[in-house]
Amino acid sequence: MDVSVILCTWNRAAILHRTLQSLRSLVVPPRISWELLVVNNHSSDNTDDVLARHHGALPIRRLYEARAGKSNAMNTGIAAASGDLLLMTDDDVLVDPEWLVSYVAISRSFPDASFFGGPIKPVFGSVVPSWITAGWEHVRSVFGELDYGPQPIAIGRKTLPYGANFAVRLPVMRQFPINVHLGRSKHSRIAGEESELFARLLAAGHQGIYQPTALIGHGIEADQLTERYVRRYFDGIGRTQVLLEGLAHADRPFKSSKLAKYWFRAMKHEFAYRRRCILGSAEKRTKHLVRSARAWGAFSQYRLMLDEQRREPNGAMLTTSAAVPRRMAATHPLS
């Protein structure tokens, strides 16, 4: 098998149908064999019915993962894959017809490279609010926009792919499974599982290449064009950054003084955001919305880790399981 496309889904049957429709338009050369692994992450809607509708038109292999969380589902797909090259995407994308061909081509042009990434273009299903348009540079990551230019380039810390559009050679992916303690789920806003994977690959000496023609569109629904959605997204980013920093320096104790700094930072940006809601430009309002949400997320996560440290009678340092509780407390005022 040449290529395995892995797609994880949870309770988004209608959106999944749109994604599968786009996959049916893929250009696949006659000498390329491929499979589509769809991992149902314990969906309770009609996901199986949607998959059945596309079964004859796509080389679908249905997989099931009962453990909640995209990271668990991704690892299930990786374990079952048989393609030499794994293409990872999401259930809310529209793939370009040349997507598969582009990844196969770049993997052959750079045989020493282990992983690859491609551009992402948001596809909006409704009118974009003016505060998003005005502050686009602050919120573009929420909607998955990624473009590193028209030429293939080496992937580095500042040019990482996004999780909706990347590829990894199977032997490498088997050596570097997805960290199941990261990744959004029903109960957690912690993200960063793909970025953490790419960081491990780069640290281990693996080369990555950006392929500008491996394009996908990212479908954006109306409920994602809200301040609540943006706030929750960046709250998760703030939590993730603090968690990863804590794991990277697990020998350092957590301090109340640092928690206070996170709180003051969050309050500063929250005040600035609320002020800009009344006075000031839409761009600055959006900027402070993002910064306040990220700061509240950082404060909330650091407080969880500090509380865990206090509960340990021997003052034990951070562990991954302690850092990522099953339910993430929502502590900022606009959750």
Q: What is the pLDDT of residue 329?
A: 33
Identify the CATH homologous superfamily for domain 3-224.
Spore Coat Polysaccharide Biosynthesis Protein SpsA; Chain A (3.90.550.10)
Prediction pTM value: 0.86
Q: pLDDT tens digits, residue range 81-95?
A: 999 999 999 999 999
For residue 138, how many other CB atoms are within 10 A of its CB? 20
Contact partners, residue 100, CB within 8 Å, separation at least 6: 3, 5, 26, 27, 28, 32, 34, 87
Q: What is the pLDDT of residue 188?
A: 64
Show me where the domains of the chain are located.
3-224, 227-323
Q: Are 302 and 242 in contact (CB under 8 A)?
A: yes
Q: What is the pLDDT of residue 114?
A: 98
For 161, phi then psi, to 5°, come to -70, 170
Q: What is the pLDDT of residue 310?
A: 84
Contact partners, residue 303, CB within 8 Å, separation at least 6: 259, 262, 331
Q: Is 233 exposed, middle or buried (0-12, 13-18, 19+ CB in 10 A)?
A: buried
Contact partners, residue 123, CB within 8 Å, separation at least 6: 94, 217, 218, 219, 220
Q: What is the pLDDT of residue 328?
A: 34
DSSP 222: G
Q: pLDDT tens digits, residue range 158-215?
A: 999 999 999 999 999 999 999 887 766 665 666 678 989 999 999 999 999 999 999 9
Q: Could you say which residues of the chain have pLDDT below 50?
A: 315-335
Q: Are 115 and 166 in contact (CB under 8 A)?
A: yes
Q: What is the pLDDT of residue 316?
A: 47
Q: Is 277 exposed, middle or buried (0-12, 13-18, 19+ CB in 10 A)?
A: middle
Alpha carbons 158 and 141: distance in angstroms, whole number: 13
Q: What is the pLDDT of residue 335?
A: 32
Q: What is the pLDDT of residue 227?
A: 95
